[in-house]
Chains A and B, each alone.
Chain A
Amino acid sequence: MALNMIVCVKQVPDPEAPASAFKVDEAAKRVIPAGGVAQVVSQFDGIAVEAALRIKDALGDGKITIISMGPASARDAIKHGLAMGADEGVLLCDDAFENGDSYTTALALAKAIEKIGEYDLVLFGRQATDWDAGTTGSGVAEMLGIPSVTLAKSVTVKDGKIAVERVLLEGYDTIEAPLPAAVTISNELGEPRYPKLQQIMQAARKQVTTWTAADLGLDASQVGRQAVRLNLERLFQPVSEVECEVIEGETPEETAQKLAQRLREEKIL
Protein backbone atom coordinates (compact mmCIF):
# COMPACT_ATOMS: atom_id res chain seq x y z
CA MET A 1 0.00 0.00 0.00
CA ALA A 2 1.40 3.35 -1.00
CA LEU A 3 0.95 5.51 2.04
CA ASN A 4 0.66 9.27 1.62
CA MET A 5 2.33 11.01 4.51
CA ILE A 6 2.46 14.69 5.29
CA VAL A 7 4.91 16.14 7.80
CA CYS A 8 4.40 19.67 9.12
CA VAL A 9 7.63 21.41 10.07
CA LYS A 10 8.49 24.81 11.47
CA GLN A 11 11.64 26.83 11.21
CA VAL A 12 12.81 28.26 14.55
CA PRO A 13 15.87 30.03 15.97
CA ASP A 14 18.30 27.36 17.22
CA PRO A 15 16.97 26.53 20.71
CA GLU A 16 20.38 25.32 21.79
CA ALA A 17 22.05 28.66 21.15
CA PRO A 18 23.65 30.07 24.31
CA ALA A 19 21.13 31.62 26.70
CA SER A 20 23.17 34.83 26.65
CA ALA A 21 22.15 35.30 22.99
CA PHE A 22 18.48 35.29 23.96
CA LYS A 23 16.88 38.72 24.34
CA VAL A 24 13.30 39.91 24.42
CA ASP A 25 11.99 43.28 23.26
CA GLU A 26 9.32 43.71 25.90
CA ALA A 27 7.73 46.75 24.27
CA ALA A 28 7.34 44.98 20.94
CA LYS A 29 6.49 41.70 22.73
CA ARG A 30 8.87 39.71 20.60
CA VAL A 31 12.22 37.95 20.66
CA ILE A 32 15.08 40.00 19.23
CA PRO A 33 16.69 37.95 16.47
CA ALA A 34 20.25 37.37 17.65
CA GLY A 35 23.06 37.65 15.16
CA GLY A 36 24.80 34.33 14.69
CA VAL A 37 21.87 32.22 15.90
CA ALA A 38 20.99 29.86 13.07
CA GLN A 39 17.46 29.19 11.84
CA VAL A 40 16.90 25.45 12.15
CA VAL A 41 14.16 22.87 11.77
CA SER A 42 12.36 22.66 15.10
CA GLN A 43 13.91 19.59 16.78
CA PHE A 44 10.79 17.49 17.16
CA ASP A 45 9.73 18.27 13.59
CA GLY A 46 13.00 16.82 12.30
CA ILE A 47 12.21 13.73 14.33
CA ALA A 48 8.72 13.66 12.77
CA VAL A 49 10.36 13.55 9.32
CA GLU A 50 12.46 10.66 10.62
CA ALA A 51 9.28 8.89 11.78
CA ALA A 52 7.81 9.21 8.28
CA LEU A 53 11.00 7.93 6.68
CA ARG A 54 11.05 4.91 8.99
CA ILE A 55 7.46 4.07 8.01
CA LYS A 56 8.35 4.44 4.35
CA ASP A 57 11.40 2.21 4.85
CA ALA A 58 9.31 -0.41 6.65
CA LEU A 59 6.57 -0.44 4.00
CA GLY A 60 9.01 -0.18 1.11
CA ASP A 61 6.73 2.44 -0.42
CA GLY A 62 5.08 5.75 0.32
CA LYS A 63 5.19 9.43 -0.42
CA ILE A 64 6.26 12.08 2.04
CA THR A 65 5.27 15.74 1.59
CA ILE A 66 6.74 18.38 3.86
CA ILE A 67 4.63 21.46 4.63
CA SER A 68 5.93 24.53 6.37
CA MET A 69 4.24 27.79 7.09
CA GLY A 70 6.64 30.66 7.51
CA PRO A 71 8.75 33.31 5.84
CA ALA A 72 10.60 32.64 2.58
CA SER A 73 13.54 31.31 4.61
CA ALA A 74 11.36 28.42 5.81
CA ARG A 75 12.08 26.88 2.39
CA ASP A 76 15.39 25.79 3.99
CA ALA A 77 13.48 23.81 6.61
CA ILE A 78 11.57 22.07 3.82
CA LYS A 79 14.78 21.45 1.88
CA HIS A 80 16.26 19.83 4.96
CA GLY A 81 13.35 17.38 5.08
CA LEU A 82 13.72 16.72 1.37
CA ALA A 83 17.45 16.07 1.84
CA MET A 84 16.60 13.59 4.61
CA GLY A 85 14.54 11.70 2.04
CA ALA A 86 11.09 13.29 1.75
CA ASP A 87 9.60 13.65 -1.73
CA GLU A 88 7.91 17.02 -2.10
CA GLY A 89 7.51 20.29 -0.30
CA VAL A 90 4.86 22.96 0.14
CA LEU A 91 5.66 26.37 1.60
CA LEU A 92 2.79 28.43 2.99
CA CYS A 93 4.10 31.94 2.71
CA ASP A 94 2.09 35.14 2.90
CA ASP A 95 2.28 38.34 4.93
CA ALA A 96 -1.30 37.60 5.93
CA PHE A 97 -0.11 34.62 8.02
CA GLU A 98 2.11 36.77 10.21
CA ASN A 99 1.57 37.13 13.96
CA GLY A 100 -0.92 34.30 14.09
CA ASP A 101 -1.36 31.74 16.85
CA SER A 102 -1.68 27.98 16.83
CA TYR A 103 -5.33 28.31 15.80
CA THR A 104 -4.56 30.26 12.62
CA THR A 105 -1.54 28.05 11.92
CA ALA A 106 -3.61 24.89 12.24
CA LEU A 107 -6.25 26.40 9.97
CA ALA A 108 -3.76 27.18 7.20
CA LEU A 109 -2.10 23.77 7.52
CA ALA A 110 -5.46 21.96 7.46
CA LYS A 111 -6.51 23.87 4.33
CA ALA A 112 -3.20 23.03 2.67
CA ILE A 113 -3.58 19.34 3.54
CA GLU A 114 -7.11 19.34 2.13
CA LYS A 115 -5.77 20.98 -1.02
CA ILE A 116 -3.13 18.27 -1.35
CA GLY A 117 -6.10 15.96 -1.03
CA GLU A 118 -4.56 12.54 -0.62
CA TYR A 119 -3.26 11.87 2.87
CA ASP A 120 -3.22 8.87 5.17
CA LEU A 121 -0.98 10.05 7.94
CA VAL A 122 -0.13 13.58 9.09
CA LEU A 123 2.86 13.94 11.38
CA PHE A 124 4.00 16.79 13.61
CA GLY A 125 6.66 17.42 16.22
CA ARG A 126 5.22 17.29 19.74
CA GLN A 127 5.79 21.05 20.13
CA ALA A 128 7.68 23.74 18.26
CA THR A 129 10.88 24.66 20.02
CA ASP A 130 10.15 28.38 20.01
CA TRP A 131 6.72 28.81 21.60
CA ASP A 132 6.60 25.24 22.99
CA ALA A 133 2.83 25.41 22.45
CA GLY A 134 2.20 21.74 21.69
CA THR A 135 -1.25 22.30 20.21
CA THR A 136 -0.96 22.52 16.42
CA GLY A 137 -1.10 18.77 15.72
CA SER A 138 -4.32 18.37 17.71
CA GLY A 139 -5.73 21.42 15.97
CA VAL A 140 -5.08 20.20 12.45
CA ALA A 141 -6.52 16.78 13.36
CA GLU A 142 -9.68 18.41 14.70
CA MET A 143 -10.08 20.60 11.63
CA LEU A 144 -9.61 17.61 9.34
CA GLY A 145 -11.92 15.50 11.52
CA ILE A 146 -9.37 12.72 11.93
CA PRO A 147 -8.19 10.93 15.09
CA SER A 148 -5.06 12.23 16.80
CA VAL A 149 -2.45 10.62 18.97
CA THR A 150 0.14 12.78 20.71
CA LEU A 151 3.67 12.19 22.05
CA ALA A 152 4.64 9.16 20.00
CA LYS A 153 7.87 7.30 20.46
CA SER A 154 7.09 4.93 17.62
CA VAL A 155 4.52 4.70 14.85
CA THR A 156 3.83 1.63 12.75
CA VAL A 157 1.29 1.24 9.99
CA LYS A 158 -0.54 -2.00 9.27
CA ASP A 159 -3.88 -2.94 7.71
CA GLY A 160 -5.12 0.61 7.38
CA LYS A 161 -4.38 1.33 11.02
CA ILE A 162 -1.63 2.94 13.03
CA ALA A 163 -0.18 1.56 16.22
CA VAL A 164 1.50 4.25 18.27
CA GLU A 165 3.57 3.91 21.38
CA ARG A 166 2.66 7.02 23.34
CA VAL A 167 5.11 8.33 25.92
CA LEU A 168 3.59 8.76 29.39
CA LEU A 169 5.13 10.27 32.49
CA GLU A 170 5.64 6.69 33.74
CA GLY A 171 5.91 4.24 30.88
CA TYR A 172 3.87 4.18 27.71
CA ASP A 173 0.56 3.21 26.11
CA THR A 174 0.07 1.48 22.81
CA ILE A 175 -2.75 3.18 20.91
CA GLU A 176 -4.43 2.07 17.73
CA ALA A 177 -6.42 4.26 15.39
CA PRO A 178 -7.71 3.95 11.84
CA LEU A 179 -6.18 5.95 8.99
CA PRO A 180 -6.24 8.76 8.11
CA ALA A 181 -4.82 9.96 11.41
CA ALA A 182 -2.55 12.60 12.89
CA VAL A 183 0.35 11.85 15.24
CA THR A 184 2.72 14.15 17.11
CA ILE A 185 6.24 12.82 17.61
CA SER A 186 8.40 13.02 20.73
CA ASN A 187 12.18 12.85 21.04
CA GLU A 188 12.04 9.28 22.40
CA LEU A 189 11.60 8.15 18.78
CA GLY A 190 15.33 8.67 18.31
CA GLU A 191 17.72 10.85 16.38
CA PRO A 192 16.75 12.06 12.91
CA ARG A 193 19.04 10.90 10.12
CA TYR A 194 21.57 13.34 8.82
CA PRO A 195 21.38 14.07 5.08
CA LYS A 196 24.38 13.03 3.02
CA LEU A 197 25.93 15.50 0.61
CA GLN A 198 24.52 13.63 -2.36
CA GLN A 199 21.02 13.81 -0.86
CA ILE A 200 21.40 17.53 -0.28
CA MET A 201 22.21 17.93 -3.97
CA GLN A 202 19.25 15.78 -4.97
CA ALA A 203 16.98 17.80 -2.71
CA ALA A 204 17.89 20.93 -4.64
CA ARG A 205 16.04 19.43 -7.60
CA LYS A 206 12.96 18.37 -5.65
CA GLN A 207 9.91 20.52 -6.05
CA VAL A 208 8.74 23.06 -3.46
CA THR A 209 5.39 24.67 -4.24
CA THR A 210 4.46 27.98 -2.62
CA TRP A 211 0.90 28.73 -1.63
CA THR A 212 -0.52 32.01 -0.36
CA ALA A 213 -3.55 32.47 1.86
CA ALA A 214 -5.67 33.09 -1.24
CA ASP A 215 -4.45 29.78 -2.73
CA LEU A 216 -5.95 28.13 0.35
CA GLY A 217 -9.20 30.04 0.03
CA LEU A 218 -8.40 32.09 3.13
CA ASP A 219 -8.33 35.83 3.58
CA ALA A 220 -6.42 37.98 6.04
CA SER A 221 -9.34 38.16 8.46
CA GLN A 222 -9.15 34.37 8.95
CA VAL A 223 -5.42 33.98 9.48
CA GLY A 224 -2.72 36.04 11.14
CA ARG A 225 -3.11 38.72 13.77
CA GLN A 226 -6.77 39.50 13.14
CA ALA A 227 -7.90 35.97 13.79
CA VAL A 228 -5.90 34.99 16.86
CA ARG A 229 -7.64 33.38 19.81
CA LEU A 230 -4.64 33.84 22.04
CA ASN A 231 -3.58 37.40 22.81
CA LEU A 232 -0.01 38.05 23.84
CA GLU A 233 -0.31 40.52 26.72
CA ARG A 234 3.31 40.40 27.78
CA LEU A 235 6.57 38.67 26.87
CA PHE A 236 9.52 38.85 29.26
CA GLN A 237 12.61 37.06 30.51
CA PRO A 238 12.25 35.66 34.01
CA VAL A 239 14.98 36.87 36.34
CA SER A 240 16.52 34.50 38.80
CA GLU A 241 16.88 36.02 42.23
CA VAL A 242 19.40 33.62 43.68
CA GLU A 243 22.84 34.76 44.62
CA CYS A 244 25.28 31.88 44.26
CA GLU A 245 27.52 31.26 47.24
CA VAL A 246 30.66 29.66 45.83
CA ILE A 247 32.23 27.28 48.32
CA GLU A 248 36.00 27.02 48.24
CA GLY A 249 38.61 25.10 50.18
CA GLU A 250 42.23 24.01 50.09
CA THR A 251 41.26 20.43 49.29
CA PRO A 252 38.11 18.78 47.91
CA GLU A 253 37.55 17.36 51.40
CA GLU A 254 37.57 20.79 52.94
CA THR A 255 35.26 22.19 50.25
CA ALA A 256 32.83 19.30 50.67
CA GLN A 257 32.92 19.66 54.45
CA LYS A 258 32.13 23.36 54.16
CA LEU A 259 29.22 22.73 51.81
CA ALA A 260 27.76 20.08 54.10
CA GLN A 261 28.09 22.48 57.00
CA ARG A 262 26.37 25.31 55.13
CA LEU A 263 23.52 23.00 54.15
CA ARG A 264 23.19 22.03 57.79
CA GLU A 265 23.26 25.66 58.97
CA GLU A 266 20.54 26.54 56.50
CA LYS A 267 18.55 23.53 57.78
CA ILE A 268 18.48 22.05 54.29
CA LEU A 269 20.20 18.85 55.38
Chain B
Amino acid sequence: MKLFEYTRAGSAADAVRSFGPGTMYLGGGTNLVDLMRLGVAEPDRLVDVGKLPLDAIEEAGGRLRVGAAVRNSDLAAHPLVRSRYPMLARAVLSGASGQVRNMATTAGNLLQRTRCPYFQDVTRPCNKRQPGSGCPAIEGDHTNLAILGTSHACVATHPSDLAVALAALEAEVHVTGPGGDKIVPMPGLHRLPGDAPERDTVLEEGDLITAVELPAPPPGASLYRKVRERASFAFALVSIAAVLDVRDGTVAGCRIALGGVAHAPWRAEHAEQVLVGGPATGEAFRTAAEAELERARPLPRNDFKVPLARNLIVRTLEELAP
Protein backbone atom coordinates (compact mmCIF):
# COMPACT_ATOMS: atom_id res chain seq x y z
CA MET B 1 0.00 0.00 0.00
CA LYS B 2 1.35 3.35 -1.06
CA LEU B 3 2.24 5.99 1.52
CA PHE B 4 0.08 9.07 1.34
CA GLU B 5 -0.30 12.40 3.01
CA TYR B 6 -3.50 13.20 4.87
CA THR B 7 -4.83 16.66 5.58
CA ARG B 8 -8.17 17.93 6.75
CA ALA B 9 -9.57 20.93 4.94
CA GLY B 10 -10.98 23.83 6.97
CA SER B 11 -13.32 25.04 4.29
CA ALA B 12 -14.40 24.16 0.77
CA ALA B 13 -12.27 26.97 -0.61
CA ASP B 14 -9.36 25.70 1.43
CA ALA B 15 -9.83 22.23 0.02
CA VAL B 16 -9.87 23.44 -3.57
CA ARG B 17 -6.83 25.65 -2.99
CA SER B 18 -4.83 22.81 -1.61
CA PHE B 19 -5.72 20.45 -4.46
CA GLY B 20 -2.79 19.40 -6.60
CA PRO B 21 -1.58 16.50 -8.72
CA GLY B 22 -2.18 13.15 -7.03
CA THR B 23 -4.72 14.67 -4.64
CA MET B 24 -8.08 13.11 -3.88
CA TYR B 25 -10.91 14.33 -1.72
CA LEU B 26 -11.99 11.97 1.04
CA GLY B 27 -15.62 12.01 2.19
CA GLY B 28 -16.88 9.17 4.35
CA GLY B 29 -14.25 6.86 2.91
CA THR B 30 -16.65 3.98 2.43
CA ASN B 31 -15.55 3.48 -1.17
CA LEU B 32 -12.24 5.32 -1.51
CA VAL B 33 -10.58 3.56 1.40
CA ASP B 34 -11.65 0.21 -0.05
CA LEU B 35 -10.20 1.18 -3.40
CA MET B 36 -6.94 2.22 -1.74
CA ARG B 37 -6.75 -1.13 0.03
CA LEU B 38 -7.27 -2.83 -3.32
CA GLY B 39 -4.59 -0.67 -4.94
CA VAL B 40 -7.16 0.72 -7.39
CA ALA B 41 -6.81 4.24 -6.03
CA GLU B 42 -3.29 5.36 -5.16
CA PRO B 43 -3.46 9.00 -4.16
CA ASP B 44 -0.37 10.81 -2.96
CA ARG B 45 -2.50 13.03 -0.84
CA LEU B 46 -5.93 12.87 0.72
CA VAL B 47 -7.80 16.02 1.58
CA ASP B 48 -10.51 15.12 4.07
CA VAL B 49 -13.67 17.01 3.23
CA GLY B 50 -15.96 14.74 5.22
CA LYS B 51 -15.96 17.05 8.21
CA LEU B 52 -16.42 20.35 6.38
CA PRO B 53 -19.39 22.39 7.59
CA LEU B 54 -21.40 21.14 4.62
CA ASP B 55 -23.59 18.81 6.62
CA ALA B 56 -26.83 20.78 6.81
CA ILE B 57 -30.16 20.13 5.13
CA GLU B 58 -31.91 23.45 4.59
CA GLU B 59 -35.10 24.57 2.93
CA ALA B 60 -35.06 27.70 0.79
CA GLY B 61 -37.79 28.89 -1.52
CA GLY B 62 -39.45 25.51 -1.85
CA ARG B 63 -36.16 23.85 -2.65
CA LEU B 64 -34.09 21.62 -0.41
CA ARG B 65 -30.37 22.08 -0.15
CA VAL B 66 -28.46 19.02 1.01
CA GLY B 67 -24.88 19.65 2.04
CA ALA B 68 -22.24 17.49 0.39
CA ALA B 69 -21.10 16.06 3.70
CA VAL B 70 -24.56 15.03 4.92
CA ARG B 71 -24.39 11.38 5.91
CA ASN B 72 -26.67 8.98 4.08
CA SER B 73 -28.39 7.93 7.32
CA ASP B 74 -29.13 11.56 8.19
CA LEU B 75 -30.36 12.27 4.67
CA ALA B 76 -32.78 9.35 4.71
CA ALA B 77 -34.02 10.18 8.21
CA HIS B 78 -34.54 13.92 7.70
CA PRO B 79 -38.21 14.87 8.19
CA LEU B 80 -38.30 17.08 5.10
CA VAL B 81 -36.77 14.36 2.96
CA ARG B 82 -39.12 11.75 4.36
CA SER B 83 -42.22 13.86 3.89
CA ARG B 84 -41.46 15.55 0.58
CA TYR B 85 -39.05 13.20 -1.19
CA PRO B 86 -39.96 9.76 0.14
CA MET B 87 -38.53 8.18 -2.99
CA LEU B 88 -35.13 9.65 -2.13
CA ALA B 89 -35.27 8.34 1.41
CA ARG B 90 -36.22 4.93 0.13
CA ALA B 91 -33.40 4.93 -2.41
CA VAL B 92 -30.83 5.82 0.22
CA LEU B 93 -32.12 3.21 2.66
CA SER B 94 -31.98 0.53 -0.02
CA GLY B 95 -28.24 1.08 -0.39
CA ALA B 96 -25.48 -0.54 1.62
CA SER B 97 -25.86 -1.31 5.32
CA GLY B 98 -26.65 0.80 8.35
CA GLN B 99 -22.97 1.01 9.23
CA VAL B 100 -21.97 2.18 5.75
CA ARG B 101 -24.83 4.68 5.57
CA ASN B 102 -23.67 6.19 8.85
CA MET B 103 -20.34 7.04 7.23
CA ALA B 104 -21.16 7.63 3.57
CA THR B 105 -21.71 11.21 2.44
CA THR B 106 -24.06 12.62 -0.17
CA ALA B 107 -21.29 13.77 -2.49
CA GLY B 108 -19.24 10.65 -1.93
CA ASN B 109 -22.21 8.50 -2.80
CA LEU B 110 -22.54 10.24 -6.15
CA LEU B 111 -18.83 9.86 -6.85
CA GLN B 112 -18.45 6.23 -5.83
CA ARG B 113 -16.96 4.03 -8.49
CA THR B 114 -18.16 0.94 -10.27
CA ARG B 115 -17.99 -2.44 -8.57
CA CYS B 116 -17.13 -4.22 -11.83
CA PRO B 117 -14.89 -7.10 -10.68
CA TYR B 118 -12.22 -6.32 -13.28
CA PHE B 119 -12.06 -2.69 -12.19
CA GLN B 120 -11.56 -3.79 -8.61
CA ASP B 121 -8.73 -6.22 -9.36
CA VAL B 122 -5.52 -4.44 -10.32
CA THR B 123 -4.03 -7.65 -11.67
CA ARG B 124 -6.53 -7.70 -14.53
CA PRO B 125 -7.00 -5.29 -17.45
CA CYS B 126 -9.64 -2.57 -17.24
CA ASN B 127 -10.06 0.45 -19.48
CA LYS B 128 -11.64 2.36 -16.67
CA ARG B 129 -8.75 1.85 -14.29
CA GLN B 130 -5.98 1.73 -16.85
CA PRO B 131 -7.03 3.34 -20.14
CA GLY B 132 -6.20 1.27 -23.17
CA SER B 133 -5.69 -2.00 -21.29
CA GLY B 134 -8.92 -3.57 -22.55
CA CYS B 135 -12.28 -4.64 -21.19
CA PRO B 136 -12.36 -8.33 -20.31
CA ALA B 137 -15.88 -7.97 -18.88
CA ILE B 138 -17.39 -7.89 -22.36
CA GLU B 139 -16.31 -11.51 -22.93
CA GLY B 140 -16.19 -12.48 -19.28
CA ASP B 141 -18.13 -11.68 -16.13
CA HIS B 142 -20.64 -9.00 -17.03
CA THR B 143 -23.66 -10.47 -15.25
CA ASN B 144 -24.19 -7.33 -13.20
CA LEU B 145 -23.04 -4.84 -15.83
CA ALA B 146 -24.64 -2.42 -18.25
CA ILE B 147 -27.11 -2.93 -21.10
CA LEU B 148 -27.68 0.70 -22.08
CA GLY B 149 -25.24 3.35 -23.26
CA THR B 150 -22.29 0.98 -23.27
CA SER B 151 -19.27 1.32 -25.52
CA HIS B 152 -16.67 -1.03 -26.92
CA ALA B 153 -14.42 0.21 -24.13
CA CYS B 154 -16.59 -0.31 -21.07
CA VAL B 155 -19.80 -1.92 -19.84
CA ALA B 156 -19.53 -0.90 -16.18
CA THR B 157 -22.50 0.31 -14.18
CA HIS B 158 -22.75 3.16 -11.75
CA PRO B 159 -23.57 1.61 -8.38
CA SER B 160 -25.38 4.42 -6.56
CA ASP B 161 -29.05 4.26 -5.57
CA LEU B 162 -29.04 7.87 -4.43
CA ALA B 163 -27.94 9.07 -7.87
CA VAL B 164 -30.85 7.30 -9.54
CA ALA B 165 -33.37 9.04 -7.32
CA LEU B 166 -31.62 12.38 -7.83
CA ALA B 167 -31.73 11.86 -11.60
CA ALA B 168 -35.49 11.45 -11.44
CA LEU B 169 -35.85 14.41 -9.11
CA GLU B 170 -33.70 16.56 -11.44
CA ALA B 171 -31.48 17.66 -8.63
CA GLU B 172 -28.74 20.20 -9.17
CA VAL B 173 -25.22 19.47 -8.08
CA HIS B 174 -23.36 22.51 -6.78
CA VAL B 175 -19.66 22.42 -7.45
CA THR B 176 -16.77 24.64 -6.55
CA GLY B 177 -13.39 24.22 -8.13
CA PRO B 178 -10.26 25.79 -9.54
CA GLY B 179 -12.34 27.11 -12.42
CA GLY B 180 -14.92 28.72 -10.13
CA ASP B 181 -18.40 27.65 -9.08
CA LYS B 182 -20.89 25.85 -11.29
CA ILE B 183 -24.14 23.94 -11.18
CA VAL B 184 -24.46 20.57 -12.87
CA PRO B 185 -28.01 19.32 -13.34
CA MET B 186 -28.71 15.62 -12.74
CA PRO B 187 -28.54 13.28 -14.55
CA GLY B 188 -25.85 15.22 -16.41
CA LEU B 189 -23.22 14.72 -13.70
CA HIS B 190 -22.30 11.21 -14.80
CA ARG B 191 -20.89 10.38 -18.22
CA LEU B 192 -21.43 7.44 -20.50
CA PRO B 193 -18.19 5.55 -21.11
CA GLY B 194 -17.56 6.28 -24.78
CA ASP B 195 -13.84 6.23 -25.48
CA ALA B 196 -12.94 7.57 -22.04
CA PRO B 197 -14.48 5.28 -19.45
CA GLU B 198 -11.87 6.37 -16.93
CA ARG B 199 -13.91 9.55 -16.48
CA ASP B 200 -17.04 8.85 -14.44
CA THR B 201 -18.36 12.40 -14.34
CA VAL B 202 -18.13 15.77 -16.05
CA LEU B 203 -16.25 17.21 -13.08
CA GLU B 204 -12.77 18.64 -13.67
CA GLU B 205 -9.66 17.99 -11.59
CA GLY B 206 -10.05 19.67 -8.22
CA ASP B 207 -13.80 20.16 -8.49
CA LEU B 208 -15.54 19.67 -5.16
CA ILE B 209 -19.24 19.05 -4.75
CA THR B 210 -20.56 21.33 -2.02
CA ALA B 211 -24.28 20.60 -2.13
CA VAL B 212 -27.12 18.91 -3.92
CA GLU B 213 -30.18 21.05 -4.42
CA LEU B 214 -33.56 19.48 -4.88
CA PRO B 215 -36.24 21.44 -6.73
CA ALA B 216 -39.77 21.28 -5.34
CA PRO B 217 -41.07 17.72 -5.63
CA PRO B 218 -42.59 17.09 -9.05
CA PRO B 219 -46.34 16.58 -9.06
CA GLY B 220 -47.59 13.03 -8.92
CA ALA B 221 -46.70 9.93 -6.99
CA SER B 222 -43.19 8.52 -6.78
CA LEU B 223 -41.51 5.24 -5.94
CA TYR B 224 -38.03 3.75 -5.72
CA ARG B 225 -37.67 0.02 -6.15
CA LYS B 226 -34.49 -2.01 -6.18
CA VAL B 227 -34.07 -5.59 -7.32
CA ARG B 228 -31.35 -7.72 -5.83
CA GLU B 229 -30.77 -11.38 -5.14
CA ARG B 230 -30.65 -11.04 -1.39
CA ALA B 231 -32.78 -8.90 0.88
CA SER B 232 -29.91 -6.89 2.34
CA PHE B 233 -26.73 -5.10 1.25
CA ALA B 234 -26.38 -5.75 -2.45
CA PHE B 235 -25.96 -3.59 -5.49
CA ALA B 236 -28.98 -3.34 -7.73
CA LEU B 237 -29.46 -5.80 -10.55
CA VAL B 238 -31.85 -3.13 -11.78
CA SER B 239 -33.45 -0.31 -9.83
CA ILE B 240 -36.00 2.29 -10.74
CA ALA B 241 -36.94 5.75 -9.54
CA ALA B 242 -40.24 6.81 -11.02
CA VAL B 243 -42.60 9.75 -10.75
CA LEU B 244 -45.99 9.61 -12.40
CA ASP B 245 -48.55 12.38 -12.60
CA VAL B 246 -51.89 11.27 -14.00
CA ARG B 247 -54.78 13.64 -14.58
CA ASP B 248 -58.13 12.38 -15.82
CA GLY B 249 -56.57 9.15 -16.95
CA THR B 250 -53.89 10.91 -18.99
CA VAL B 251 -50.22 11.04 -18.13
CA ALA B 252 -49.46 14.67 -17.44
CA GLY B 253 -45.93 14.09 -16.33
CA CYS B 254 -43.57 11.19 -15.95
CA ARG B 255 -39.99 10.68 -14.94
CA ILE B 256 -38.20 7.37 -14.97
CA ALA B 257 -34.60 6.77 -13.97
CA LEU B 258 -33.00 3.35 -13.94
CA GLY B 259 -30.05 2.06 -11.94
CA GLY B 260 -27.87 -0.97 -12.61
CA VAL B 261 -28.25 -0.68 -16.37
CA ALA B 262 -25.72 1.93 -17.44
CA HIS B 263 -22.51 3.79 -16.70
CA ALA B 264 -24.70 6.56 -15.27
CA PRO B 265 -28.15 6.79 -13.74
CA TRP B 266 -30.25 6.21 -16.84
CA ARG B 267 -33.06 8.63 -17.53
CA ALA B 268 -35.59 6.74 -19.67
CA GLU B 269 -36.43 9.74 -21.80
CA HIS B 270 -37.82 7.75 -24.68
CA ALA B 271 -40.25 5.99 -22.41
CA GLU B 272 -41.23 9.29 -20.84
CA GLN B 273 -41.91 10.84 -24.24
CA VAL B 274 -44.08 7.92 -25.26
CA LEU B 275 -46.10 8.20 -22.06
CA VAL B 276 -46.69 11.90 -21.61
CA GLY B 277 -50.02 12.95 -23.07
CA GLY B 278 -51.19 9.36 -23.45
CA PRO B 279 -53.34 7.09 -21.34
CA ALA B 280 -52.10 5.71 -18.04
CA THR B 281 -52.72 2.06 -18.87
CA GLY B 282 -50.65 -1.06 -18.45
CA GLU B 283 -50.46 -1.40 -22.20
CA ALA B 284 -49.10 2.13 -22.59
CA PHE B 285 -46.57 1.49 -19.84
CA ARG B 286 -45.40 -1.61 -21.64
CA THR B 287 -45.11 0.17 -24.98
CA ALA B 288 -43.11 2.91 -23.32
CA ALA B 289 -40.80 0.47 -21.57
CA GLU B 290 -40.17 -1.37 -24.81
CA ALA B 291 -39.47 1.88 -26.64
CA GLU B 292 -36.75 2.59 -24.11
CA LEU B 293 -35.29 -0.88 -24.09
CA GLU B 294 -35.08 -1.13 -27.85
CA ARG B 295 -31.82 0.67 -27.28
CA ALA B 296 -30.49 -2.00 -24.96
CA ARG B 297 -27.41 -3.90 -26.12
CA PRO B 298 -27.28 -6.74 -23.60
CA LEU B 299 -24.44 -9.23 -23.43
CA PRO B 300 -24.98 -12.98 -23.12
CA ARG B 301 -24.90 -13.04 -19.31
CA ASN B 302 -26.88 -9.89 -18.63
CA ASP B 303 -29.68 -10.26 -21.16
CA PHE B 304 -32.03 -10.84 -18.22
CA LYS B 305 -31.82 -7.14 -17.43
CA VAL B 306 -33.96 -6.32 -20.45
CA PRO B 307 -37.11 -8.14 -19.28
CA LEU B 308 -36.29 -7.16 -15.72
CA ALA B 309 -36.11 -3.46 -16.54
CA ARG B 310 -39.24 -3.74 -18.68
CA ASN B 311 -41.16 -5.50 -15.90
CA LEU B 312 -39.97 -3.02 -13.32
CA ILE B 313 -41.00 -0.02 -15.38
CA VAL B 314 -44.44 -1.46 -16.10
CA ARG B 315 -45.08 -2.68 -12.58
CA THR B 316 -43.83 0.49 -10.90
CA LEU B 317 -45.93 2.73 -13.13
CA GLU B 318 -48.95 0.51 -12.55
CA GLU B 319 -48.42 0.92 -8.86
CA LEU B 320 -48.14 4.69 -9.20
CA ALA B 321 -51.15 5.06 -11.47
CA PRO B 322 -54.26 6.06 -9.54
To the question of whether A and B form a pair in one complex, the answer is no
Query: Taking beta carbons and an 8 Å cutoff, which residues of A are in contact with B?
Result: none
Query: Taking beta carbons and an 8 Å cutoff, which residues of B are in contact with A?
Result: none
